[in-house]
Structure 1
Amino acid sequence: MADAAAAATGATRLPAGRAFTKMHGAGNDFVVLDCRDADAPDPSLCRAMADRHTGVGCDQILTIEAPRGPGALAAYRIWNADGSQAGQCGNGARCVAAWVLRDVRARGDEPPRRFHLESPAGRHEVEALGDGRYRVAMGIPRFDPASVPLLGFDVPRERYVIAAGGSILEVGAVSMGNPHVVLEVEDIEAAEVGLVGSRVQGYDGFPDSANVGFVQVLAPNRVRLRVYERGVGETRACGSGACAAVAVLVRRGSAAREVAVELPGGTLQVAWPSDDAPMTMAGPAEFVFEGVWPA
């Protein structure tokens, strides 16, 4: 009967398969899959869906999963465009928050303003700010080289000198639940993000590779940032990268505790109240479209 009705109206019937939601946070785009009652995607499916020519197109796949412990609304995992998994994604966390609250409303319940989500990096408090914006607690930055991980150094430094791909570079390094390298540049537009980013990612001292951020300081409370993400390439925004850049700059005395981080896809608000407090990152999360991936 449904097929006959579709034929009569000229409507196209969606094929049976896997429902997905396309979302983005400041231009960092995602395919969101509900895996609470379904298997997580394998790497080949992630690569296929992420392909911008033959798939849906995205920087990462986000899987919504049942919470692993009490008190959380949901858990999630992050899959890069190349099928590898990531430990943290700030823009993705906001999109997961928006998706989960929409699901709460669809069930007829009142969505909470504050709640917790569980990422591979741990538990995060989230606050719905209104107008499609969310603030996420991103954890305390870890500068110990073993935590990044960064090989060849025993103690944290504000600046590390490394030889990567024939280039001698002065970098900062920090973990936000995933590894980040931060390079200060004078002109963000002229930065060789792809070339230098790939060289840093291939450096032997980063056994898990790294996300590489290029930051230009405009004022203590305002910076510009471009990020070359591992498993993805340059993205229009990176929430954990914004936190990493601010953390490194604060340690150097180059940034304030509250910073507007301007990325190609939009601006994120990053705050680090004190060295022993979690960083927070606030920004938008937007729905783009819904679809079904053929089985």
Structure 2
Amino acid sequence: MNQTQDQAAFKSGFISIIGRPNVGKSTFLNRVIGQKIAIMSDKPQTTRNKVQGVLTTNDSQMIFIDTPGIHKPKHKLGDFMMKIAVNALKEVDIILFMVNAEEGFGRGEEFILEKLKGVETPVFLVINKIDLVRPDALLTIIDEYQGKYDFAEIIPISAIEGNNVARLLEQIQERLEEGPQYYPADQVTDHPERFIVSELIREKALHLTREEVPHSLAVMMDKMEHRQEQEIIDIMATIVVERDSQKGIIIGKQGKMLKEIGRRAREDIERLLGSKVYLELWVKVQKDWRNKAFHLRDFGFTEEEY
């Protein structure tokens, strides 16, 4: 923050982004921050941990919390993801309830609105993917939601194209109260580099593999260190799946799939770290890991911090 800046005028606050899986929360977060810190996929429930993105301007700092899509849990990992999402409603200054303009109001939205009852925090309805619907359809969506909850604001956007995102940020800043700058101006996330690197590897595997693999897939970072006297970072990671058949899919014929995952991940990681990267990947089977608490802890899913 500039020392000449009027300290009293500086605003800050925490903004939680909630919504059903696959409504575009991570796309929005990456758009706002200006770089990829949350992985994106067309497969639901891509986000598993709370991802915090920091946007600092001359007169404000907005800390966005991208949460796993709220859904009915089917295993211990699902329980964990739900706890993160629901806990993110507490102790924030603004809640962004994001919905997909292409999809009508359904049980998922009803479930989330139930969770919002009794919450005193201002809730913005953010209607995403407006680039995919006609304007008259958008008016119908707005009318339907207005009758179901007393939203502080209703703002249609296209996160992927950037339409109306600046207006949404203005509305958020207007609602924030004066507060401190929590993070340095150049910091865009509170997650360590190791976490983001592991997420980038997982993203490439999600993009390239078939439907039966994604939700059974985790990435464990085994090693990440600078090579002595060289501008190279050595990274070794293990892709964990639940079944032998999934291991075969990830490796691919003659190892081609694993090589392609590694190639695509390395490109993104080099952009993130600004350095050459040597990336080595392994694949391991841990049967039913999503239902075993000790495996969830091993893979970084710990409830204590929430």
Q: TM-score, normalised by structure 1?
A: 0.25
Whose helix fraction is larger, Structure 1's or Structure 2's?
A: 2
Higher RCO (Cα < 8 Å, 6 or more apart): 1
